[in-house]
Amino acid sequence: MHKPAPSDFPVHQLILDRWSPRAFSDKPVPPDVLRSLFEAARWAPSSSNEQPWAYIVATRDDHENFARMLSVLVEFNAGWARNALVLALAVAELTFAKNNAPNRNAQYDTGAATALLSVEATARGLSVHQMAGFDPARAREVFAIPSNWEAIAAIAIGYPGDPNSLPQPLKDRELAPRTRKPLSEFVMSGHWGHTASFVAK
């Protein structure tokens, strides 16, 4: 399903085409394609070039680990994410490797890496749906995540599927128009709440 964003200003088509569906097809994701997605994440910017991200990945043909990954999702997300071909957790290292000091940019940098992964996926005809709805404590236990690392997002990856495969409430959300806040609400200048002149109407 193709559902480009209705942008107010010109941006690259990959940005318009990236979105987060819940319907996935059964088409396998080849290992070389998966490698390219994580290669894109590898080259994200990061504070002091620490690259404070890691990904725990399970493909649906790895039944044991896929089931373990589903087990850390909230029930609502597990219901549709089980149809994705790949599930993952994005994990951030909370301290700098060089001196063990807190890295306040760790989550930001890990998000940047996952954003690049998502754009690479879009370029290859794949969809990525990121989720906050999972249990970080259970993820730590199930996957033996070290204490100075934290799972910050769950991710479903696969080729887009048929919205008709979803229960009606999710199908309705899948087919609903895409919306975003206008730039005037979040691009500021001078002081908080003052819309930057180049976006003010």
**Where residue 54 sits, what CATH number does that domain have?**
3.40.109.10
Q: Would 171 be classed as within a structural domain?
A: no
Instruction: Give the DSSP H or E segment for 90.
Output: strand 86-93
Q: Give yes or no for a contact between 137 and 150, defined as CB atoms under 8 angstroms apart.
A: no
Q: Would 123 be classed as within a structural domain?
A: yes
Structure tokens at 30: 């080849």
Q: Would 129 be classed as within a structural domain?
A: yes
Instruction: Give the DSSP H or E segment for 28.
Output: none
The count of domains in the chain is 1
Q: Would 182 be classed as within a structural domain?
A: no
Identify the pLDDT of residue 1. Answer: 72
Backbone angles phi and psi of 8, in degrees to 5: -85, -25
Q: Would 168 be classed as within a structural domain?
A: no
Q: Give yes or no for a contact between 173 and 21, defined as CB atoms under 8 angstroms apart.
A: no
pLDDT 10s digits, 25-62? 999 999 999 999 999 999 999 999 999 999 999 999 99
Q: Would 186 be classed as within a structural domain?
A: no
Is residue 110 pLDDT above 90, yes or no? yes
pLDDT 10s digits, 139-168? 999 999 999 999 999 999 999 999 999 999
Is residue 125 pLDDT above 90, yes or no? yes
Is residue 200 pLDDT above 90, yes or no? no
Average pLDDT over residues 103-110: 98
Find the domain containing 109 and state its range: 13-162
pLDDT 10s digits, 173-187? 999 999 999 999 999
Is residue 201 pLDDT above 90, yes or no? no
The C-alpha atoms of residue 98 and residue 79 are separated, in whole angstroms, by 41
Instruction: Give the DSSP H or E segment for 139.
Output: helix 136-143
Q: 3-state class of 115 per DSSP?
A: helix
Share of the chain above pLDDT 70, in %: 100
Q: Would 197 be classed as within a structural domain?
A: no
Q: Give yes or no for a contact between 29 and 106, defined as CB atoms under 8 angstroms apart.
A: no
Is residue 130 pLDDT above 80, yes or no? yes
What amino acid occupies position 26?
D
With b meaning 16 or more CB within 10 Å and e meaning fewer, what string describes 39-53? ebbeebebeeebbbb
Q: Would 2 be classed as within a structural domain?
A: no
Residue 198: band (very low, low, confident or very high) from pLDDT cuts 50, 70, 90:
very high
pLDDT 10s digits, 51-100? 999 999 999 999 999 999 999 999 999 999 999 999 999 999 999 998 99
